[in-house]
Amino acid sequence: MFKQSRKMEQIPPYMFAEFARKKAEMIKAGVDVIDLGIGDPDLPTPEHIVEKLVEEARKPENSKYPSFIGHPAFRKAVAHFYKREFDVELDPDTEVLALIGSKEGIAHIVPTVLNPGDYCLIPDPGYPPYRMATYLAEANVQYMPLKKENQFKPIFTDIPQDILPLAKLMFLNYPGNPTASTVDLKFYEDAIAFARKHNIIIAQDSAYNMITFQNYKAPSVLQVEGAKEVAVEFGSLSKTYSMTGYRIGYVVGNKDVIKSLSVYKSNTDTGQFTPIQLAAAYALNGDQSCIGKHNTIYWERMKAMIEGLKAIDVEVEPPKGSFFIWAPTPKGYTSSEFASTVLEQTGVIITPGNAFGPSGEGYFRVSLSLPNDVLADAIDRIKKNIKLSKK
Ligand SMILES: *Cc1c(COP(=O)(O)O)cnc(C)c1O
């Protein structure tokens, strides 16, 4: 009889997979569900990128095994993107590695840096794969609480002194999921100085680096002098160009970490389909007007949702990045209680904040990656139907 490994016994089903299961049950029961839980762009992949994919898919030479470290054109395109957007120079051969979506690299960097028993410093609340990959590597999680009073930034000096010598890897994520918070270059300077002092590798997850508003431009951690000695940055085409299903991302920065990760990967996967890499290269270097257009749409949705939430006395500052709203639950409600109440009274799914870590308690996350009319319907239901009984 099958009995899964002890390691797997510790791993709950992926949070969003579990939510998808519950949602399917509700739809089956006849509920008209609106899912503000998923962070998957509704806006289509821009046409020129799709055309490039189709064109490359027709070439017989592209059906062969791809390059382990990524197609040279893709790696060059990433380097070019970094030069253009952040004025950061990258060697496409040693400082850029293609990933099958950045989640893949985020999961696999953990065992390349950490030994069992080491500590991984993880933003709390944060993207669930950071902690799951840490469990799978039999390393320990040390949460870095992200509090509103600190603009959802970790306080490095709060990391316990006895943990520090065993902490080898720190995840950062700005613009942040789920908190939608952003940072300036000064924050990264402090982070790099801290990492150098304590021999910690920084892995900054920049999945939302191009989804920004209010004239804010998200910096790259690699803009900090000396950052390449201790840092890598994960990037993704998923959100920027609405390419989640393509599964293409990259990691850039420290070449020893990248080398190690490429060895790990060459033993577990064989890279992404070449036409997808070439379409991604084209996305990074082609017409960028889609980004501004999409950001304008997200921003309009953001303002409408924030306005809608006021009707139930939920106040949020408009964020400068990501397509999420991270909001405090109304008085008297835990994250789970509020998410259940909203679901029961409106059929709208929101993500309870504690799903992203213990410090997410007392918050909920709303995603704006749904068509305008669906979002308007959700806002309408929230305004009209929610009756809060607790005080
Ligand atoms: C969406 C997301 C990613 C993963 O992106 P892929 O490249 O599609 O794997 C990584 N980090 C965060 C915080 C995200 O929200």
For 228-255, what is each residue's pLDDT tens digit?
Answer: 999 999 999 999 999 999 999 999 999 9
236 Cα: distance to centroid of ligand 1 (angstroms): 7
Does residue 226 sit within a domain? yes
Read off the pLDDT of residues 268-289 as tens digits, 9 standing for 90 and up: 999 999 999 999 999 999 999 9
pLDDT at res. 31: 87
Q: Ligand 1: does its nearest atom lie under 6 Å from the Cβ of 244?
A: yes
Q: What is the mean pLDDT of the chain?
A: 95
Gap between the Cα atoms of 116 and 104, Å rounded: 20
From start to end of the chain, where are the E strands? 34-35, 96-99, 119-124, 140-145, 167-173, 201-205, 231-236, 249-253, 324-328, 348-349, 351-352, 363-367
CATH number of the domain where residue 155 is located: 3.40.640.10
From start to end of 164-283, where are the E strands? 167-173, 201-205, 231-236, 249-253
Gap between the Cα atoms of 25 and 17, Å rounded: 13
219 Cα: distance to centroid of ligand 1 (angstroms): 18
Are 158 and 40 in a shared domain?
no
Q: Ligand 1: does its nearest atom lie under 6 Å from the Cβ of 250?
A: no
Q: Which two tokens stand for residue 24?
A: 């399917």
Are 324 and 187 in a shared domain?
no
Q: Which two tokens stand for residue 316?
A: 């949020």
Are 321 and 194 in a shared domain?
no
Q: Ligand 1: does its nearest atom lie under 6 Å from the Cβ of 242?
A: no
Please identify, among 239, 270, 285, the residue that sits at the C-terminal boundary of a domain: 285
CATH number of the domain where residue 13 is located: 3.90.1150.10
Q: Ligand 1: does its nearest atom lie under 6 Å from the Cβ of 238?
A: yes
> Is pLDDT above 70 for 310?
yes
Q: Summarize the confidence of residues 7-32 as an average pLDDT.
A: 80
- Mutation pick for ligand 1 pocket among 177, 351, 367 (CB with most ligand atoms within 8 Å): 177
Are 202 and 343 in a shared domain?
no
Please identify, among 285, 315, 344, the residue that sits at the C-terminal boundary of a domain: 285
Ligand 1 atom 11 nearest Cα: 207
Ligand 1 atom 2 nearest Cα: 207
Does residue 53 sit within a domain? no
Parent domain of 190: 64-285
pLDDT at res. 391: 63
Read off the pLDDT of residues 330-359 as tens digits, 9 standing for 90 and up: 999 999 999 989 988 999 999 999 999 999
Q: Report the chain's C-alpha Rg in angstroms.
A: 21
Percent of the chain with pLDDT over 70: 99
Categorize the per-residue pLDDT at 373 as very low, low, confident or very high, splitting at 50, 70 and 90. Answer: very high
Q: Count up the domains in the chain and report the number.
A: 2
138 Cα: distance to centroid of ligand 1 (angstroms): 23
